[in-house]
Amino acid sequence: MGAPMNLQLDDEQRLLHDSVVRWVAARSASDAGASVSRERWAEMAGFGWLAMTLPAAHEGLGQGLAEACVLAQALGAGPLADPYLPAIVQAAGALVGGANEAQQARWLPRIADGSLLVVPADRERTGSRGGRTLARRDGSNWRLDGHKSVVPCGALADAWLVSAADETGARQYFMVPGGTDGVRMEAFESVDGAGACALHFSGALLPDADRLAGAAQAAFEQATDHAAVAACAEAVGAMQAMLAATVAYTRTRQQFGKPLSMNQVLRHRMADMSVACEEARSMTIGAVQQVIEADRRGDPLARSLAAAAVRAKVAGAARRVAEEAIQLHGGMGVTEELNMGRYLRRLLALDALYGGAETHLRRHATLRATLRRSGGAAHLPVQAEMAALDGFRDEVRQFLAEELSPELVRSARLNTSVFSEPHTGLQWHRALHRRGWVAPAWPAQRGGTGWSLAQRWIFETEFAVAGAPPLSPLGLRMAGPVIMHFGTPEQKSHYLPRILSGEDYWCQGYSEPGSGSDLASLSTRARRERGADGAEVYVINGSKIWTTHAHLANRMFALVRTGEGETRKQEGISFLLIDMATPGITVRPIRSASGDHEVNQVFFDDVRVPVACRLGEEGQGWTIAKYLLEFERGGAISAGRLRAALDRVERLVAAEEGSLADGGALDDPDIALAFSAIEIDIRALEMTELRVMSSLQVGQNPGSVSSLLKLRWSEIHQSITRLGVRLLGSDALVWESARPMHLAEHSVLDDVARPVVAGYLNARAFTIFGGTSEIQREIIARDVIG
């Protein structure tokens, strides 16, 4: 059902990628440190790469931004500083949109075959003696006067695409051939080795035929946004190459008798590099789709917002990865013996040409404010494919309108715990069960929906936007999948229907006092013996801690030690399904700093559990636990709920100012930047989730990405709650002690502000439960480094 989600390269793009990678590897080996050359440019033309994005009517291949980004990413791995971005994506792109048919026929075929190298000349240094570049009519010609401070690869170019202001202040664009009278070129070296120049215009005369006759300014702005996105693709190629080189170096470099890769601090730093690479790659894929869709709709604001978001994210991430790569290479990292410095120098060039992280974060905040005032959504659709599912989206929205009551929404909004308050959560759970929608991730034959991954994404996103209470994951996302995978037919037929209906409400018995994230060190023991009726049972003694909703649950899945004298602590652990009404179980409440009672310590005193309640074989518990943790850490679609949480924080401002359109605190530059930074982080997570879903759909294994997703959504959630407290100001002094908060009608604060402080305090647990952030980094490091 539904449209597929394809965030993978198609066959042609894969062939292009592989061929460019091979060429870049050969050039990097033979031309290391060499300047850009016309010989290399001619080779690229010979492969058809320069013609790739040009129209077929003018000797091009008619492809687009996606293919340009495939090529740019491969060039970034070199790193090769050939002028593909300024010459083809930017200058040629502007000609495609801003030149008339005769001009395109005159220039584009020569650009495609490499005989005409054109680069943009649009940068003017503020306060320079040359001032603005001005264009004035001089009979049938145009006269140019002024100065362009930095023209990338300008000394190598045959012509420059020059911007100038006419008498009305409007921007005009001219093709200025090299050697034109009145144009003086001043060549200099550039940080990336590509070379550059300054241009000085003193009465340079150009025929009207050299002025772009179409919508030149709009075309140039579009091409510049495209080049900014392609620069991110190039940065992704560089980031991945730097990470691979750093991992290889730390595996072989010995210190104190051990490889550097065994040092936990260094492992976690490389894990963070890997996270940055994955987010940058996801963000770039998403930006390509958004820009293509915005161009199709003729929406320059949406296009620029997407370009600003991806540059803000990727430029910052690439700089961090480069700096870490140099640091982890030690003294050699700062020398020209290795490529690390070349990568950083190229990234500096990309920032200079297309804007760095800070520049684009400010740009995003400005564009976001413009979109907000126009009544548009500050975030943009994920991909055009989703439009094919509008009917399904309407069906979900209709269900929400009929079943999601204001009381449920208010209860969810005022909830400060990790999970919904059980009465609220179960009420919504049963409504979904009646519709057959309670377990979208389950197989259809087990009560699931049979939806595509795209439909699941829409379902989760629409529920988050509507403010529906999140369901407890302990049964649906954790107990259910492991029972399906490891359970006996009898266990499946007994437990799975009860999980679907909500009859069984589960808690998790993993952590113990003194063991925490080190689950394998657990000491709760289950001794096997035969009961008076002849049936075999496990007799359990010990305790579990941080057990969410144990005081409300009627079932627990737990890890217990059943073996004796194992050589490895992971051995001898079994997985039991326990009835919480069994004699000998005592639950002691633990109240958190947020004022919530959601976690507990559970004591087992000679608790007798039938052996038939063991899941899997005796001693198989560690294998089952690892399987379950994959669902706990990465089985949800979280970006929608994070965005809904950010929207709620934004409503804090609206409550003070009257409406979001009024601006007020949102126009404070610091506040605007904070909202943009979080929104961009959510976007990167969203695209990572979608990319993982897409890879699963085509049978690929995403590896440790579940840990990456858990790490990032917990960190982003915490950043949202911090911003909420910041916006409260002195109202953060007010303490709400009533729980559940929605049952207490009276408060000195309105409903928007009431849960903020407690929510912030409770969110401190997000980077702890389900495996601490340090554990997640170690899992990522094990996948990346070994």
Residue positions annotated with a catalytic role: 632
Label residue 29 exposed, middle or buried (CB < 10 Å: 0-12, 13-18, 19+). exposed
What tokens were used for 380? 């943009």
The backbone torsions φ and ψ at residue 668, rounded to the nearest 5 degrees and listed phi first, read -65, 125
Secondary structure class of 507 (helix, strand, coil): strand
CB atoms within 10 A of CB 561: 23
The answer to whether 184 and 202 have CB atoms below 8 angstroms apart is: yes
The backbone torsions φ and ψ at residue 417, rounded to the nearest 5 degrees and listed phi first, read -90, 170
For residue 115, the 8-state DSSP code is S
C-alpha torsion sign, points 86, 91, 92, 97: positive
The answer to whether 515 and 522 have CB atoms below 8 angstroms apart is: yes
> Given the structure tokens 């991954």, which residue do they identify?
453
Tell me how far apart the alpha carbons of residues 176 and 206 are, in angstroms, rounded to a whole number. 7
Cα-only R_g, the chain = 30
> Given the structure tokens 């760095």, which residue do they identify?
356
The answer to whether 272 and 777 have CB atoms below 8 angstroms apart is: yes
Of 88, 127, 134, 82, give the one whose Cα is nearest residue 111. Answer: 88
- CA–CA distances in Å: residue 21 to residues 27, 72, 154: 10, 10, 26
| Non-local CB neighbours of 441 within 8 Å, separated by 6+ positions | 448, 456, 476, 477, 481, 635
Cα-Cα end-to-end distance for the chain = 39
The backbone torsions φ and ψ at residue 278, rounded to the nearest 5 degrees and listed phi first, read -65, -45
The answer to whether 640 and 460 have CB atoms below 8 angstroms apart is: yes
Report which secondary-structure segment, H or E, holds 204: strand 196-207
Secondary structure class of 528 (helix, strand, coil): strand
- CA–CA distances in Å: residue 704 to residues 157, 520, 653, 692: 46, 20, 38, 11
| Non-local CB neighbours of 460 within 8 Å, separated by 6+ positions | 440, 636, 637, 640, 641
Tell me how far apart the alpha carbons of residues 716 and 758 are, in angstroms, rounded to a whole number. 17
Pairing of strands 506-509, 585-591: unpaired
Secondary structure class of 542 (helix, strand, coil): strand
Cα–chain center distance at 637: 12
Tell me how far apart the alpha carbons of residues 299 and 4 are, in angstroms, rounded to a whole number. 25
The answer to whether 703 and 671 have CB atoms below 8 angstroms apart is: no
The answer to whether 194 and 82 have CB atoms below 8 angstroms apart is: yes
Tell me how far apart the alpha carbons of residues 309 and 368 are, in angstroms, rounded to a whole number. 10
For the residues of 302-340, what is the DSSP string, one character each? Answer: HHHHHHHHHHHHHHHHHHHHHHHHHHHTGGGGGSTTSSH
The answer to whether 24 and 80 have CB atoms below 8 angstroms apart is: yes
Identity at 294, one-letter amino acid code: A
Q: From start to end of 476-554, where are the E strands?
A: 506-509, 525-530, 536-545
